[in-house]
Amino acid sequence: MNPSLQRKDKLESLFSLAAFFASNNMLDTRLDASLDRMVNHGYAGALTRFIGIKTPTTCAFARALIEPAARLGNSQSSTRSSTAESGSAANSTT
């Protein structure tokens, strides 16, 4: 079997399980590390497609991801702006 298909099947199974837990209020609300890992490993597109299925279960999962996504976005934004500020300071001293 094609390794990329196996990975896709595993991701779908993982997303389905997480969605099940979210829809039954059994999912830990601190998904920051898991979401960060998914984004950093290039699985954001697969997650977006999964949430796009639009069932009550996937909608509950999407709602569970809103706060972690906002925290992750703020974290990345602050990292980018502090990196940009460091670069600006370095450029102004030369």
pLDDT digits (tens, 9 = 90+) for 21-53: 888 888 766 688 888 888 899 998 999 999 999
Record the pTM: 0.68
Residues whose CB falls within 8 Å of the CB of residue 34, separated by 6 or more in sequence, listed in order: 18, 68
The vertex-32 CA angle with 31 and 34, nearest 5°, equals 65
User: How does pLDDT run across 62-82, given as a tens digit for each residue?
Assistant: 998 998 889 888 776 666 555
Domains of the chain by residue range: 14-92
pLDDT score of 3 more than 80: no
Q: Which residue has the higher pLDDT, 87 or 62?
A: 62
Closest by alpha carbon to 51, among 25, 23, 30? Answer: 23
Residues 91 and 14: their CA atoms lie apart, in Å, by 46
Please give the span between the terminal C-alpha atoms of the chain, in angstroms, as a whole number.
Answer: 56
